[in-house]
Amino acid sequence: MKKSVAIVGATGYTGAELIKILLNHPNFEIKTLFSSKGGEKIEEIYPAFKGVFEKEIKKAEIAEITAHDLVFLAVPHKTAMDFVIELMNEDIKIVDFSADYRLIQENYEEFYVKHTDSKNLSKAVYGLPEYFREDIKTTKLLANPGCYPTATLLGLLPFKKYIEGAVFVDAKSGVSGAGKKLNETTQYVTINENMFAYNPIHHRHSIEIKEKSGLDVNFVPHLLPITRGMMISIYANLKEDIDPLEILKEKYKNEPFIRIKDKPVDIKSVAGTNFCDIFAMKNGNSLFVNTAIDNLLRGASTQAVVNANIMMGYKETTGIPNIAYIP
């Protein structure tokens, strides 16, 4: 029998992606959609769902959420915490898209707000399957990684012990990464035929990368004039003479969603999939690592479903799209 699923925050881009994946998933069934205000229909917000998946969105209430086997919380930080603190007492598994359970309390509070659920913070598992698969299997509370940290850590962690000094991460994201809320930065006229960095060095995702890598990371995100996809270029100094591609191939040899490339990666080859494509090379002691993911999928919704697969004991690849939106 299929597991019943609730999506809280169904109206955002990652909520819509989650619906798309789960509709084709053999083991999960979307039973209820929730949003903060409720009363909308998913096919009115995304007309593409018309005739495919039409459903009312309810106002999110704990009592209704607990009637499911699994809940995806695709809501902002702080809001997530308010749900989790209640849901942890109930018989339901939780995949949280927000930053609320990704960081140690000190780091979280420096970049976000006061943490009001420190008890559960220590119970959460960081959902990067390639590195925390065993812990994910048994957790009740999964902290789904951010898009920038996912794309950066998958390229950076294999080289952690060979790097000395500062690491520079030049990150580029499609506009969907900024979410559905109206703002001037994401207006067509602002970003079309343009590109710019924002929050250099001090972006919130930098602490997530630093904490998980233990490295001295300088993170500079940029907005790209594309809708979806993300590219990361990592620059660092090596303290050992290594073969970067060999290290990647060895590290990820059994991973179904990592592809090691022998030339620079591109965004379109991963758009629409859960793949993280990685390339690396060196020049003397200088290391260049280059990764690409779909920011909404591997950076959010497909990674969440992969984590849910692991939490439920299903095969990790079940129902996960692997065919890109090319050409």
* Of residues 2-31, those binding a second copy (CB under 8 A): 13, 16, 20, 23-24
Residue 106 beta carbon to a second copy: minimum distance, rounded to whole angstroms: 19
CA distances from 89 to 86, 98, 113, 216 (A): 6, 19, 23, 38
Could you tell me the two tokens for 304? Answer: 């969440």
Site string for a second copy, 33-72 (x = CB under 8 A): -------------xxx-xxx--------------------
Burial class (CB in 10 A: 0-12, 13-18, 19+), 309: buried
Residues 62, 67, 113, 326: which binds a second copy (CB under 8 A)?
Answer: 326
**DSSP per residue over 193-236, as a string?**
T--EE-STTT-THHHHHHHHH-S-EEEEEEE-SSSS-EEEEEEE
Binding segment (CB under 8 A) for a second copy, from list 56-64, 98-106, 117-125, 169-177:
169-177
Please list every residue from 86 through 145 that binds a second copy, using CB under 8 A. none
Please list every residue from 192 through 221 that binds a second copy, using CB under 8 A. 192-198, 200-201, 216, 218, 220
69-75-78-82 Cα dihedral, nearest 10 degrees: -30
Residue for token digits 């850590």?
A: 153
# of chain residues touching a second copy (CB under 8 A) = 78
Half-sphere exposure at residue 194, Cβ-oriented, CA atoms within 13 angstroms: 13
**DSSP per residue over 42-56, as a string?**
HHHHSGGGTTT---B
165 lies in the site for a second copy, by CB under 8 A: yes
226 lies in the site for a second copy, by CB under 8 A: yes
Please list every residue from 268 through 297 that binds a second copy, using CB under 8 A. 268-273, 275, 281, 283-286, 288, 290, 296
Those residues whose C-beta lies under 8 Å from the C-beta of residue 311, and which sit 6 or more positions away, are: 70, 93, 95, 136, 137, 139, 142
84, 147, 215, 220: the catalytic one is: 147
152-155-161-165 Cα dihedral, nearest 10 degrees: -50
* 147 in catalytic set: yes
Considering beta carbons, is residue 140 or 256 the nearer one to a second copy? 256
Residue 103 beta carbon to a second copy: minimum distance, rounded to whole angstroms: 19
Residue 91 beta carbon to a second copy: minimum distance, rounded to whole angstroms: 31
Considering beta carbons, is residue 45 or 312 the nearer one to a second copy? 45
Considering beta carbons, is residue 24 or 116 the nearer one to a second copy? 24
The catalytic site residues sit at 147
